[in-house]
Structures are given as C-alpha cells and as structure tokens.
Amino acid sequence: KQEVTQIPAALSVPEGENLVLNCSFTDSAIYNLQWFRQDPGKGLTSLLLIQSSQREQTSGRLNASLDKSSGRSTLYIAASQPGDSATYLCAVTGNTDKLIFGTGTRLQVFP
C-alpha cells in the first residue's frame, strides 16, 4: 500500500527565505507526482506535475524535483513571500489514476 509522507509538517519563516519541502513515498511504481497548494478552507491549486520519466519541473519561483528510485520529491520555493502561506500537498498517481496524498506541510511566511 502506497504511503506518502511530507516533512516538515509545519514551517514558519521570514519573508525572502528559500524553502525546501520534502515528500517521500514508499512505492516507487508511480506514473507521476503532483504538488498542490491549499489555502485554508479552500480547494486545491495544482502547482507542478512531474511525470515519472522526468527529473524536475519549474514554474516561476517553484521548482520540483523527483527521484523516483529513492521515493522522494522536493519542492523548492525561492524568495518566499507572505502570499506563499498555505498548506502544500504532494500526491502520487499509480496505475489506477488515484491520487494518494501526503500528510501536508503548513507553511507560514511572515513579513
């Protein structure tokens, strides 16, 4: 059974810092990995999608890497801003299209 864990569970940093959020999964037989952002009481916003054959994806200040063989992904946020405050979720897809979500990282960026 696939299990997805995210570290740290919570993070509070001053504005401007570069951040690394970690995601690990137990079954490396995945098709892709997705990073999402969730604001309090809201739905999900897709940030980045990495196919299993890819090593990384970039969008603006966000960069996500994937090491499928070791079951790890990292989300790098450059020059963090207060508007980046949210919960970040990673999710993996296996051969059934189901997304298995990680435990989430609650990020707070203060001015």
Partner 1 sequence: GAVVSQHPSWVICKSGTSVKIECRSLDFQATTMFWYRQFPKQSLMLMATSNEGSKATYEQGVEKDKFLINHASLTLSTLTVTSAHPEDSSFYICSSFDRARPFTEAFFGQGTRLTVV
**List of residues contacting partner 1 (CB under 8 A):** 31-32, 34, 41-44, 46, 49, 51, 89, 91, 93, 96-104, 106
Between 35 and 74, CB nearer to partner 1: 35
Between 97 and 111, CB nearer to partner 1: 97
- Beta-carbon contacts of 29 under 8 Å, excluding residues fewer than 6 positions away, are 94, 95
Peptide bond into 8 cis (omega under 30): yes
Q: How far is the CB of 79 from partner 1 (least distance, A)?
A: 26
Q: How far is the CB of 16 from partner 1 (least distance, A)?
A: 27
Between 40 and 111, CB nearer to partner 1: 40
- Beta-carbon contacts of 61 under 8 Å, excluding residues fewer than 6 positions away, are 77, 78, 79
Between 81 and 108, CB nearer to partner 1: 108
The 8-class DSSP code of residue 26 comes to S
- Beta-carbon contacts of 1 under 8 Å, excluding residues fewer than 6 positions away, are 26, 27
Q: How far is the CB of 103 from partner 1 (least distance, A)?
A: 5
